[in-house]
Every structure is written in structure tokens, then in C-alpha cells.
Copies of this chain bind each other. A is one copy, B any other.
Amino acid sequence: MDQQLRDYLLHNREKQLTELKKFLAIPSISALPSYKVEMRKAAHWTAEMMKDIGLDRVDIFTGKGHPIVYGEWMKAEGKPTVLVYGHYDVQPVDPVELWESPPFEAEIRDNKLYARGASDDKGQVFMHLKAVETILKTRDTLPVNIKFLIEGEEEIGSPTLPSFVEKNKELLKADVLVISDTTLLERGKPAIVYGLRGLCGIQIDVRGAASDLHSGLYGGAVQNPIHALVEILSTMRADNGVITVEGFYDKVRKLTEEERAEFASLGQSEENLKTQLGVPDLHGEEGFTALERMWARPTLEVNGIYGGFQGEGIKTVIPSEAHAKITCRLVPDQDPQEIADLLEEHVKKAAPAGVTVSVSQFDKGAPFITPFDHPAIQTAGQAYEEVYGVPTAYVRGGGSIPIVAAFSEILSIPVVMMGFGLSNENFHAPNEHFNLENFDKGLEVIIRYLFKLSNGL
């Protein structure tokens, strides 16, 4: 990165942090209806900032949900187009008494910026805007075309975004989608998330007698819904964690040898994980490391089970109902609807006599992957390495961000998740903060990445 860009960053650092603090001062909590005005304020702030930095088209789209802010600069003819996605909404701040400084009065302590949204995701959105500003203000042009799509509903599950993306495919057309809403592997070690798991789930409701029965009077005569449920669940997963629902693994994409080598190279200690989680032992499918199981293997977990008496002591009842909630984390190329249907079918087949069993399906999210040897990802990895001085980790996420899969499906472009947070920065918790070391380095990474992308994908 040349001196001119470096100087711009240096000279504008204080100003930028002051601006970011103003952005962070807007309590844009998407989950709370009473913050609707603040949401609009944050959207406007974002739009104004897009104009300030020199984008030449800025729009606020309003509809059923919170406003979506769009901005673009499209004058780099013949060059790739980068779409940056992020969100200006934040999580609620309760319990507010646990904050050491007020959540909407950003404060820097020990080179860390404390405020709700500092890392998730206002801080990281702001970095992309400032990276573009830095180049535009020093060069009067950009090495690539750029589009920003900043929404206000990420923390409530992005209910309106997929249909917006679907309707505005042409507007959002790009060669790569860049998202900064994840974390480094650890301090000093950059990481790109190139895959996420998907999600589907079912609820099983087992019903027996019309009402709870006295286990003395009727025990032995009727099926107990809890036992029926246990029987069903025991057919779904083997002791070793292998899922025994027929067809479940049919479409699972195998880990490549390169991926396994990459994961192994991260040096994550299973002993540490065990200690961190406080479990007597790790547990799961044989033949896979814990990391492989968390990132690249599907799961089936009972998230909740309930039926009958839950109080202190004893109540000798045969309950009339028992329930279980099950979700599966899915990996490419499993289809959430297909798996949910397999689960439902399995449960219905496994249902024992003497009870009625019904199944309902939960919302679904597709898994996502951009192979990590894709140029869009490898180029980002190089930009990281030049700034942080260590190899970039190519990782997959065990969780599900349905909107990422939706982007990847609707727009059919590679997705590069290059985050600058740290996993101990308390997103969604009191005292959220952002280490400014990664603010400074991140700005440089983004600028380098945009220049590198100029050479094509």
C-alpha cells in the first residue's frame, strides 16, 4: 500500500473514530418496535456517509421492514464489481447494568472501542465505507466497481432481505460478495469463513390418553407418550453420534484432503476445547476431528424435550403428552426441505402403537460453501497475510446465517466472509467492543483487497 493511502488513514484516524462514535450513538435496535425512529436515523446516517465518501448513487429502500440502504460507485469500467453486505442494526443492550460504560456512548479503553455495535456490525461496515473513501479521496477513482447493501434487520433474522435481493437481482449484480461480520481465528490470526452449515428441524408431538393418568390405576394398560418418544428418538441417532435416519448422509459433500489439512494446520487443541466447554469428554462421529465435525459434518440434536412432571420430587403420572424439538445442522449439498421430509417420514415410521404422533417442520436455511481455493477467497487471504504477517486461516462455520446462503443462491456469486472481530468481544452481550488494532489493520486489508481484485477474479 503506497504512502499516500497510508498517510490518509493516519491523518484521518481521529476524525474517523469520531464519526464512528456518532454512528454507534444511534440506538438502532431492530428487535424493539419502539426504536423504529432510531432505525430510520441509522439508515439515514449510513446513506449520508455513503454520499460523503463519494458514492454516486445512494438509495434508501423502505418497505415492510426496516430501511435497506444501497450505494454504488460504478465507474471502473471493465473491472470486477464488489458487493459489500453488512447491517446497521444492533442487538438489545439488556442487562444494561452490566455495561461498564453506556452502550450508546462509545468509549475507548486500552485501544478498544466499547459500544453496542462496535464490532457487530457497525464498526465493520464503517471500515468498508472508510476504505472506499480513502481510495476515492486520494486517487479520485476506485480500482473496482463497488456496491453497498446495508440492511437493518440482520439481528432479527433478515425477514425481508431475501425477497428484496430476489427482486433486485439486476441492481445487486456483482462478481463477489464481501461480508465483514465474523471474527479472526484469534488475535493476530486472520480467518476467512468459506462455508456455513444450514438448518432444518422438526417438532415431534406424541399424544396418548385424553388426560394425564394415575400410574397406579392405569400403569401397564396404556402406552406412555414419553416412552413412545424415547423409542422414536432412539432410532434417530446411534451412540456414536452417527445419524440413523435413512438417506440423511446421501448428499453430504465430502471434506477434501486439502480442507482436512487446512483445518489440521490451525492447531486447535481438542483438550482445550474440552476444558473450555466443561465436558468430561468430546463426543461424535468416529474418523473426524472435533473441528471437522463442527464445521463440515451434519448434526441432529434434540434441543428440547418435555413431558409430564418436572417439579421437585415425585408425581406418579402417565402424562398425556410428550414433545421434542429437533434441529439438524446441514452441510453442502444437503437440501433443508429434503432432510426435514426425511426426518418427518422417519418419525412417522418409527411411531409405536398406542399413541398418536404428529410432526411439524421449522424454518429452514440452506448450507453454503465457496470452495476455499476460489480466487476471490485466496486473494482476500493474501491481503490479510500482507497486513497481519501470518498465513490466513480458511475456516468453515458450524452455525447458520441463512441470508448468506440466500445471497449465494440468488446471486450465484462467490461469498468472502472476511471478519475483523475477535470471539471475546461480547457481541450480543454487555460490554461489546472492537479492538482498534483490527480497525487499523482491517482498513488496510480491505484497501489491499480492492486493489488486488482489480486484476480480475
Contact = CB atoms under 8 A, between A and B. Distances in A.
A306 interface: yes
Interface string A35-55: 000000000000000000000
B215 A329 contact: yes
Interface stretch (A91-99, A256-264, A277-285): A277-285
A287 interface: no
B278 A210 contact: yes
A255 interface: no
A113 interface: no
A353 interface: yes
Contacts of A215: 299, 301, 303, 327, 329
Nearest to A237: B227
B294 A322 contact: no
A422 to B, nearest CB: 15
Interface in A243-282: 273, 277-282
Interface in A46-71: none
Contacts of A323: 310
Interface in A292-318: 293-294, 297, 299, 301-310, 313-318
A280 B355 contact: yes
A329 B362 CA distance: 38
B219 A294 contact: yes
Contacts of A391: none
Nearest to A214: B399
Contacts of A214: 399
A305 B322 CA distance: 8
A362 B281 contact: no
Contacts of A211: 278
A325 B319 CA distance: 12
A290 interface: yes
A381 interface: no
Contacts of A285: 220
Contacts of A324: 226
| Contact size range, A | 35 or more
Nearest to A299: B219
Interface in A194-227: 197, 199, 201, 208-211, 213-224, 226-227
Interface stretch (A126-134, A174-182, A228-236, A403-411): A228-236
A90 to B, nearest CB: 19
Given A221-B293, A241-B220, A199 B316 contact: yes
Contacts of A293: 220-221
B400 A216 contact: yes
B303 A273 contact: no
A352 interface: yes
A197 B215 CA distance: 11
A123 interface: no
Interface of A: 197, 199, 201, 208-211, 213-224, 226-227, 229-231, 233-234, 237, 239, 241, 273, 277-285, 290, 293-294, 297, 299, 301-310, 313-319, 322-325, 327, 329, 352-356, 362-363, 397-400
Given A305-B305, A314-B327, 12 more contacts: A216-B399, A221-B283, A223-B283, A226-B301, A226-B304, A227-B237, A233-B234, A234-B234, A283-B354, A303-B314, A305-B308, A305-B322
10 A-B pairs closest in CB distance: A216-B399, A210-B278, A283-B354, A220-B293, A304-B308, A234-B234, A304-B309, A223-B283, A219-B299, A226-B302
12 contacts: A215-B327, A224-B301, A227-B301, A280-B353, A304-B309, A305-B308, A305-B322, A306-B306, A306-B310, A310-B323, A314-B325, A314-B327
